[in-house]
Amino acid sequence: MCDRFSLHARPEELQEKYQVQQMEAVFRPRYNIAPTQSIPIIVQREGQRQLVEARWGLFPFWAKDSINADFGSVSNKKIFERIIKRQRCLIPSSGFYGWRTEGKEKQAFHIVMKDQKVFAMAGLYETRMDPRGQLQRSCTIITAMANTIVSSYHNRMPAIMDEEEQERWLDPHMTDRYMLENHIYAYPASAMYAYPVKPLSGDEEIEESELMEEIGPSLWLVKE
């Protein structure tokens, strides 16, 4: 599961890393991204990769869990067939947050790559026209079984993709759901690190970089 994440990469960094040809999204460093907010996503349209904006959380009434989607479950549903075949995306992230409860204590932590680089989460997106005739996009993060880091607090985690998987995920000719599902798996815990942070503010407008600062050693997650 993922209901908060961060993205503090520069636009030019995303453009280079993900070979984006068209930059439509305007964004700034974000440290407390929450559902319903606008986020940058990478889509493949008209033969080129584009960085566009989308609302985090699918619009349609049938999207039961609009911010996260278990690919194994939604791929069996007729209502998801079109967007799985035609509207897949990548959602860049610098890290995502989790919470572990021990007795009465609830500790927030930030999960990142050990090399501190931005990574891509698999996603789906939908489009619709608003009453003014303006195109709106919404998106959801695909989840996979949790690795040993995330499983300490939840059984699902974002489906993180390497460069080859990103290429296949965005390929418009790749429409077989079983082949797509092969790219949804628990990302290796050995490549990741989780560390304690101060409690996230309930105010989603607070975006201080201090939110992702390490406040002490982890007693239950091991650095490898």
Query: C-alpha dihedral over 137, 56, 212, 116, to 10 degrees?
Result: -60
Average pLDDT over residues 71-83: 87
Give the confidence band of 222 by pLDDT, cuts at 50, 70, 90: very low
Q: Extract the tokens encoding 63.
A: 């999207």
H/E segment holding residue 95: strand 95-102
The CATH fold assigned to 5-212 is: hypothetical protein yedk fold (3.90.1680)
Q: What is the pLDDT of residues 108-122, one digit of tens each?
A: 889 999 999 999 999
Nearest alpha carbon to residue 43 among 32, 33, 31, 54: 54
> Which residue in the block uniquely carries the two structure tokens 């479950």?
73
Q: What is the pLDDT of residues 58-68, one digit of tens each?
A: 986 555 668 99
Could you tell me the residue ranges of all domains in the chain? 5-212
166: three-class secondary structure by DSSP: helix
H/E segment holding residue 169: helix 163-170
Residue type, 133: G
Lowest mean pLDDT across 1-10, 55-64, 183-192 = 55-64
**Confidence check: pLDDT of 157 > 60:** yes
Average pLDDT over residues 18-34: 92
CB of 128 closer than 8 Å to CB of 136: yes
Residues contacting 214, CB < 8 A, separation 6+:
110, 195, 196, 197
Residue type, 209: S
Residue type, 167: E
Predicted TM-score (pTM) of the model is: 0.91
**Confidence check: pLDDT of 209 > 60:** yes
- CA-based end-to-end distance of the chain: 23
